[in-house]
Amino acid sequence: MPGDNAPAQSVSELSASLKRTVEDAFGHVRVRGEISGWKRAASGHCYLCLKDDKAVIDGVIWKAVAGALRFRPEDGIEVVATGKLTTYPGRSRYQIVIDRLELAGQGALMALLDKRRRALEAEGLFAAERKQKLPFLPRTIGVVTSPTGAVIRDILHRLADRCPTHVIVWPVPVQGEGAAPQIAAAIRGFDRLLPGGSITRPDLIIVARGGGSIEDLWAFNEEEVVRAVAECSIPIISAVGHETDTSLSDFAADIRAPTPTAAAEIAVPVRSELLAMIGETGARSSRCAVRSVERSSEQLQNCLRHMPAREDLLAPQRQKLDELADRLPRALGTRLGHARADLGKAAGAIRPALLDSTLRRSRERLAGLWRIAELAHPNKPLERGYARIEDRHGKTLTNSAAAREAGRLRLIFADGKVDASVDGPGSGVERPRRGNYRETKSDQPKLI
The domain segmentation of the chain, as residue ranges, is 14-103, 135-271, 383-447
Cα separation, 29 vs 66, whole angstroms: 18
135-271: in CATH 3.40.50.1820: no
For 228-335, strand residue ranges (E) read 236-240, 255-256
- 140 CB-near residues (< 8 Å, 6+ apart): 165, 166, 167, 168, 200, 201, 202, 203, 204
The conformational region for residue 286 under phi > 0 = left, psi -120 to 50 = alpha, else beta, is: alpha
pLDDT-derived band at 433, boundaries 50, 70, 90: very low
- 231 CB-near residues (< 8 Å, 6+ apart): 188, 191
pLDDT given for residue 439 in this prediction:
44
| Mean pLDDT of the 377-388 span | 78
Neighbours of 286 (CB within 10 A): 10
pLDDT-derived band at 201, boundaries 50, 70, 90: very high
pLDDT-derived band at 268, boundaries 50, 70, 90: very high
pLDDT given for residue 302 in this prediction:
86
Residue pair 166/139 in contact (Cβ under 8 Å)? The answer is yes
| Mean pLDDT of the 177-184 span | 88
Specify the long-range contacts of residues 182-186, CB closer than 8 Å, at least 24 apart. 183/144, 183/207, 183/219, 183/220, 183/225, 183/228, 184/222, 184/224, 184/225, 184/227, 184/228, 185/228, 186/144
Cα separation, 282 vs 276, whole angstroms: 10
pLDDT given for residue 426 in this prediction:
36
Beta bridge partners of 140: 166
Residue pair 142/190 in contact (Cβ under 8 Å)? The answer is yes
Q: Which CATH architecture has domain 14-103?
A: Beta Barrel (2.40)
Indicate if the alpha-carbon torsion angle 359, 360, 363, 369 is positive or negative: negative
Cα separation, 349 vs 354, whole angstroms: 9
Cα separation, 357 vs 366, whole angstroms: 14
pLDDT-derived band at 172, boundaries 50, 70, 90: very high
Cα separation, 427 vs 430, whole angstroms: 9
Amino acid at 190: F
Cα separation, 355 vs 328, whole angstroms: 39
